[in-house]
Structure 1
Amino acid sequence: MRQLALDALDQLTLGATLLANGGGGDPFIAKLMVEQAIIDNGPIEIVGLEDLPDDAMIATVAVIGAPTVIIEKIPSGREFIEAVRALESYLGRKLDAIIPVEVGGMNTLVPLAVASEIGIPCVDADGMRRAFPQIEMTTFTLGGISASPMSLADEKGNKLAFETISNQVSEKLARGSAMMLGLTNALASYPMTVAQAKDAAIPGSLTYCHEVGGLLHAVQSHEEGAWERFLDFTEGVIIFEGKIIDLDRRTTTGFARGTVVVEAFADPSRTLQIEIQNELLLAVEDGRPVVTPPDLICMLDHETSEPITTEALAYGQRVRVLGIPCAEGWKRDGMLDIVGPAAFGYDADYTPLKG
């Protein structure tokens, strides 16, 4: 067991912003929620799955909606507690811990704040080790764990809980409900025992996120050898450097969707096209897929190495684009059905990232 104190929060937030692949919502608001929770309640208890009994009940809590809406409709914080309470009421029992659904963006930090406010630990594991736009896109689904029963809550006090026959249906119902409730809501889902999570979760995700944040901070501080250490740890590759010359972005069907085109500094005839669905999902150069899901596409400001979220993309930005391999926890039968290119409607084969 360990504890998360204020002095570790900046590093964790930076890692979460990078691993969000441009999506997941800007973590700044969630960081403020965690800061206040630590000030009010003290350091937040972080536990490994091995620290909890196998029959302990855990669940995820997260923001659902479009990042472009989240920056305009700031969460109150209470809706996340209400979503958890609604799920507990439906289950007929209290949760023993909170587990992040993803370590990317706001949904890395929101579970920490909620766990602190409720007075239970947060688990050092997740279901993605990145951010994905849809509820079913988790290693929990790969492990046969149902996303439901689940609950949804908004800032006005509206709450609903429901069960579905598949995680794909859970996504449709939750997304449709979120669209009617303002397109940024609190979601509590994937109730599971620790024994189930040990088989399906990606362990050590919060620790990984914190370490990545530290390595990226060293890059931003221009420490000698920092890029080499960062790329070695993440097994990442710098795939493109250039400026944004075209950007199409819209909020539709409950997501921020679009395309961003980057022109190479060294050779203006080279361009990289990246497709967006909340996250940066597919990178194509000269008709050839360069990075495909579930591998990560991360876009950094070329001068400051600050991760850029999809809602902050702008014409003329100078950027560095990274590719990072997905977590080993994804590499099991059924992965491509859930998070491969075809799962997003792209006519492309999965091409494992090579250094």
Structure 2
Amino acid sequence: MNEWTLTELDLEYISLGAAILGTGGGGDVYSGKLRAWQQMRAGRRIRIISPDALQDDDLVISVGGIGAPTVGFEKFERGDECYRAMRAIEKAVGKNAVALMTDEIGGGNAIEPMIAAALADLPVVDVDGMGRAFPELQMNTFFIYGMLPSPCALCDEKGNTIVYTEAVSPLWMERLARASTIAMGCTAGMALPPITGKQIKAWGVKYTISQSWRLGEAVIRARAEKRDSVAAILKHEHGKLLFRGKVVDVKRWTTGGFARGKLEIDGFSDFQRRSLQIEFQNENLIASVDGIVVATAPDLICIVDSETGRPISTEETRYGLRIAVLGLPATPLFRTTEALAVVGPRAFGYDLDYQPLGDYVMPEPKVKP
């Protein structure tokens, strides 16, 4: 089996690309990158394998953080929460995982499985369940297309572990896990039910670690060559420039275990005398220009610095920032009727039909089977 062993530079690229794909959420990438570097400097390896290399009956466990990103900026992990959650799932099912993965490539949750995998000396599969970040547990392709919602495990930095042995639906698993996460201080490490190699190949959003690497590398190379970093992102992701402007108002609050809010941007350059509004729940969900909707979930609404292309999360957004708002196409796995019921505009309370921004292009893998 071919493996791609990451270097510190690889993690730099991946963390930048994942932060862009996080659509404002997914957890803090910077602290995750530092903790992953720490594992490398301790002599541990972070290895990536192709989903196509898995045997159909191989068991893989998805791990990541759950909670409100605004809290995660102040409440750092102990470092082994996801590792302990993964071990709790192995104990619950009586089988060991052959690899780990993330359920969302966006934001810091791209890095969390790498830290747990380094501790366990397991590879990480080049796949996820979103191709972005979403605020709720049930909003990934594996649950949408048939993965059982339990067992799941939660671990916090204090040493507490909760294993949910049975849940009637992914939505109920989300509700139970969210309530426990709030009790744990609004952040925790989580492990999802084991998934087989066959299911990953059928339902996974493939090669998204490779996608993050290539996206981050494209932005850093554009900066070095003094080219337009925003244009580099749009070219790489086949995206659309939705707006350029200055943030003039931000309303943000933490409730129910989520960071929610709205922001308003006044346009400049080609968007002068126009205004854009974005609403978010951990991640950016809907964008409107002068009251007309221009993008909605599940397509990606990404905010980056208008000059450098640096991704700006929902908790970082503040008055005066000069930004570009980008729309990137979502995976076709999110464009089916059954998926849109879970991740489309109406799933978030907006009485709108989803209008795709463009065609999704499969990322090129960095590692072959």
How much has 1:285 moved relative to structure 2? 1.4
Q: Contact 1:15–1:213 at 8 Å: present in 2 too? A: yes
Is 272-281 or 187-196 further displaced after alignment?
187-196
Cα separation, 2, equivalents of 1:199 and 1:179: 33
How far apart are 1:32 and its partner, in Å?
1.2
Distance 2:29 2:300 in 1: 18
Residue type at the aligned position of 2:159: G
Segment of structure 1 superposing worse, 262-271 or 66-75: 262-271
Identity %: 39
1:309-324 → structure 2 map (5 Å cutoff): 309-324=313-328
> Which consecutive residues of structure 2, in runs of 5 or more, have no partner in the other structure?
360-369
The letter of the residue matching 2:308 is T
Which of 325, 345, 352 matches 2:349? 345
Of stretches 132-141 and 266-275 in structure 1, the one that deviates more from structure 2 is: 266-275
Checking the alignment, whether the CA contact within 8 Å between 1:20 and 1:279 is kept in structure 2 is yes
Q: Of 177, 199, 206, which residue of structure 2 is paired with 1:203? A: 206
Distance 1:143 1:305, change over 3 A: same
How far, CA to CA, are the matches of 1:132 and 1:81 in structure 2?
22
Q: How many residues align?
A: 355
Q: Contact 1:58/1:192 (CA < 8 Å) preserved in 2?
A: yes
CA distance 1:219–1:298, shift in 2 (3 Å): farther
**1:9 corresponds to:** 11
Paired residues for 1:117-266 under 5 Å:
117-162=119-164, 163-224=166-227, 228-266=231-269
The one-letter amino acid paired with 2:70 is T
* SS of aligned partner of 1:311: coil
Specify the code of the residue in structure 2 equivalent to 1:200. W
| Alignment TM-score, normalising by the size of structure 2 | 0.92
Distance 1:141 1:81 in 2: 22
Q: CA deviation at 1:331?
A: 3.1
* Pair 178,143 (structure 1): closer, same or farther in 2 beyond 3 Å: same
Contact 1:300-1:320 within 8 A present in 2 as well: yes
Give the whole-Å Cα distance in 2 for the aligned partners of 1:224 and 1:313: 24
Match of 2:113 among 111, 114, 119: 111
The answer on whether the counterparts of 1:83 and 1:151 sit within 8 Å (CA) in structure 2 is yes
Does the CA contact (< 8 Å) of 1:147 and 1:191 recur in 2?
Answer: no
* Other structure's SS at 1:172 match: helix
Answering whether residue 295 of structure 2 is matched by residue 291 of structure 1, we say yes
Please give the alpha-carbon distance, in whole angstroms, between the structure 1 residues aligned to 2:286 and 2:163.
34
Q: Offset at 1:223? A: 4.0
Q: Aligned to 1:33, what secondary structure does the other structure show?
A: helix
The reply on whether 1:37 has 2:39 as its aligned counterpart is yes
Deviates more, 1:109-118 or 1:48-57: 48-57
1:92 is matched with which residue: 94, 102, 105? Answer: 94
User: What SS does the corresponding residue of 1:117 show, helix, strand or coil?
Assistant: helix
Q: Which amino acid aligns with 1:115?
A: A
| Contact 1:242–1:319 (Cα < 8 Å) also in 2 | yes
Which secondary structure state, in structure 2, belongs to the residue aligned with residue 312 of structure 1? coil
1:158-213 CA-to-partner distances (Å, cap 9, x unmatched) read: 11111211101111000011011100000000311111111111111110111111
Structure 1 position 225, deviation (Å): 7.0
8 Å contact kept, 1:79–1:153 = yes
- State the Cα deviation string for residues 95-120 of structure 1 (Å, max 9, x = none): 11101111111100010111111011
CA deviation after TM superposition for structure 1 residue 269, in Å:
3.5
State the alpha-carbon separation in 2 of the partners of residues 217 and 297 from structure 1: 21
| Residue ranges of structure 1 left out of the alignment (5+ in a row) | none
TM-score, normalising length from structure 1? 0.96
Flag the 1:228–1:23 CA change in 2: closer, same or farther, 3 A.
closer
Letter in 2 for 1:304: T
| Contact 2:333-2:339 within 8 A present in 1 as well | no
Verify the 8 A CA contact 2:44 2:119 in the aligned structure 1: no
Q: Secondary structure at the match of 1:334?
A: helix
SS at structure 2 position matched to 1:321: strand
CA drift of 1:251 comes to: 0.3
The more displaced of 137-146 and 236-245 is 137-146
**Aligned partners of 1:30, 1:96: CA distance in 2, in Å?**
23
Distance, in Å, in 1 between the alignment partners of 2:222 and 2:168 is 46
